[in-house]
Amino acid sequence: MTIILRTNPLEPDLEVIKQAAKILLEGGVVAFPTETVYGLGALVFNEKAVSKVFWAKKRPPDNPLIIHISSISMLDEVAVDIPEEAYRLIRVLWPGPLTLILRRHPQVPKLVTGGLDTVAVRMPAHPVAISLIKELGIPIAAPSANIAGRPSPTTAEHVIRDLQGRIDAVIDAGETIYGVESTIIDILSKPPVLMRPGAYPVEEIEKILGTKIEIPDFARGLTEANTALAPGVKYRHYSPETPLILVESSSSDLSKIINAVKELSMKYAENENKKVCIVASSETISMYEFMSMKIHVLNIGSRNNLFEIARNLFRTLRSLDELSCDIAIIEGVEEKGLGLTIMNRLRKAAKLKIRV
Ligand code: AMP
Ligand code: MG
């Protein structure tokens, strides 16, 4: 049985927070909203509870979790030898969607870090997440609250659809704000390395640091990461059940993408008699309407507001399965700012990538 606890996102109901804290203190697992996506939490120092997180998500044991804290004193309980560069980012960007890779405090179970001697830590900005960690006085280890490989959950309904009966409770506080996960920076390396693009654009983080951040191919979603470097990045990720085709272009000329999407969708709809879903932007959607009765078009948001596309991304990927399309085709965006984050998720989610 999974209990659903409802609260207002801005002024968390103290009774709800207390009930969730009680479940966690008794060794249970609770899904809760953060400003990025919903997380599935367990007390970081309780190995049995942490192992329930892996079980509930069907997550491979070498894919580490992010530790969520609510104060700087908690940081010292989970990490050691914190470099000055880390504090420079912490001062400006915490609480918020920035995760830092730091040296593991020996008291953090290796189960949490997938066997690594580093930890991933962040201080979330969502009032519900902060209240819960404060109430506990103990950091929470939490990956996204979805079955491994599926799109991350941005509502409690998404969590329920994936994890009903597999977790003790979910706190429902409505939709999350950014809709994509935190940006992960390995601040121990020189220069710092982007492990995963996220809700904070890497360009903004570079400005605060005053140095360039290395962006490996795996952070762009082009290759899989070296296991020893970032175990989490090597698995199938963010995928709807509907096979997804990503059409991307390095040219800023959108007509290349539009023509390829049109051609592909007509081929599947008319020649192969498939139900096709096209995921387009507000700027391009009119190009695909009325092409065929077998083509359904969805709007993911404006190319001039990548925050909007990021926020709609996982909900749109999940909706493809509800529409029971045979195949989905999605347009790529430019890899700048949040565009890097969106393209990382889409490249990992896609079954087939086409460059035009
Ligand atoms: P999730 O919250 O589900 O997106 O999962 C957390 C992600 O954080 C994992 O997929 C890892 O890629 C990343 N992560 C956690 N700990 C580490 C670490 N010590 N080193 C590198 N990446 C990490
Ligand atoms: Mg995840």
CATH of the domain at 326: 3.40.50.11030
**Pair 214, 268 in one domain:** no
Single residue among 161, 187, 220 that ends a domain in this structure: 220
- On whether residue 233 sits in a domain, the answer given is no
Q: Which domain holds residue 52?
A: 3-220
Residue 301 token pair:
């948001």
The pLDDT, as a whole number, for residue 228 is 41
Q: Looking at residues 136-147, what average pLDDT do you find? A: 98
d(CA 340, CA 171): 30
Q: Output the pLDDT for position 25.
A: 98
Give 235's pLDDT tier (boundaries 50, 70, 90): low
Both 324 and 186 in one domain: the answer is no
- Show the ligand 1 pocket: residues with CB < 6 angstroms: 63-64, 66, 101, 113, 116, 118-120, 143-144, 181, 184, 195-196, 230, 232-233
Residue at 49 is within a domain: yes
Which ranges in the chain belong to alpha helices (H)? Answer: 14-25, 47-57, 72-78, 84-93, 127-136, 156-163, 202-209, 254-266, 306-322, 338-349
Instruction: Tell me which residue of 205, 213, 227 sits closest to 98, measured CA to CA.
Output: 205
Q: Are 125 and 95 in contact (CB under 8 A)?
A: yes
Last residue of a domain, one of 220, 254, 279: 220
Identify whether residues 215 and 343 lie together within a single domain: no
| Apex 325 CA angle, 40 and 329, nearest 5 | 85
Question: Are 150 and 254 contained in the same domain?
Answer: no
Residues with CB under 5 A from ligand 2 (ion): 144
Residue 223: pLDDT over 90:
no
Distance of CA 84 from the midpoint of ligand 2 (Å): 28
Q: Are residues 143 and 276 in the same domain?
A: no
CB 45 within 8 A of CB 141: no
Do the domain assignments include residue 347? yes
- The average pLDDT across 234-249 equals 89
Do 178 and 135 reside in the same domain of the chain? yes
Residue 73 alpha carbon to ligand 1 centre in Å: 22
Share of the chain above pLDDT 90, in %: 93
pLDDT in tens, 148-186: 999 999 999 999 999 999 999 999 999 999 999 999 999
Task: Indicate whether 176 and 259 sit together in one domain.
Answer: no
In a domain, 292, yes or no: yes
Q: Are residues 249 and 210 in the same domain?
A: no
| Residue 230 forms part of a structural domain | no
Global confidence as pTM: 0.96
Same domain, 163 and 207: yes
Report if residue 67 sits inside a domain: yes
Q: How many domains are there within the chain?
A: 2
**Ligand 1 pocket test, candidate residues 59, 63, 188, most atoms within 8 A of CB:** 63
For residue 286, is pLDDT > 50?
yes
Residues 61 and 115 in one domain: yes
Is the pLDDT at 230 greater than 60? The verdict is no
What 8-state DSSP symbol labels residue 152? P
Percent pLDDT > 70 in the chain is: 97
Considering only CA atoms, which residue is closest to atom 5 of ligand 1? 143
pLDDT value at residue 225:
62
- Asked if 189 and 289 sit in the same domain, the reply is no
Closest ligand 1 atom to 225 CA: 12
- The CATH number for 127's domain is 3.90.870.10
Mean pLDDT, all residues of the chain: 95
Q: Is the pLDDT of residue 226 over 60?
A: no
Spacing, Cα 340 to ligand 2 middle (Å): 17
CA 237 – CA 100 distance, rounded (Å): 21
Task: Give 318-339 pLDDT, tens digit per residue.
Answer: 999 999 999 999 999 999 999 9
pLDDT reading at 232 higher than 90: no
Instruction: Find the mean pLDDT for residues 94-115.
Output: 98
Q: What is the pLDDT of residue 152?
A: 98
* Domain contains 69: yes
Candidates 34, 53, 100, 101: which one to mutate for ligand 1, based on the most atoms within 8 Å of Cβ? 101
* Per-residue model confidence (pLDDT) at position 227: 47
* 238 occurs within a structural domain: no
Query: Long-range contact list for 199-202, CB < 8 A, 24+ apart?
Result: 199/35, 199/36, 199/96, 199/97, 199/310, 199/338, 199/341, 200/93, 200/96, 200/97, 200/98, 201/337, 201/338, 201/340, 201/341, 202/340
The answer, yes or no, to whether residue 74 has pLDDT greater than 90, is: yes
Q: Are residues 337 and 190 in the same domain?
A: no
Residue 224 has pLDDT above 80, yes or no: no
The pLDDT value given to residue 215: 98
pLDDT digits (tens, 9 = 90+) for 52-68: 999 999 999 999 999 99
Q: How many helices (H) and strands (E) does the chain have?
A: 10, 16
67 alpha carbon, closest ligand = 1
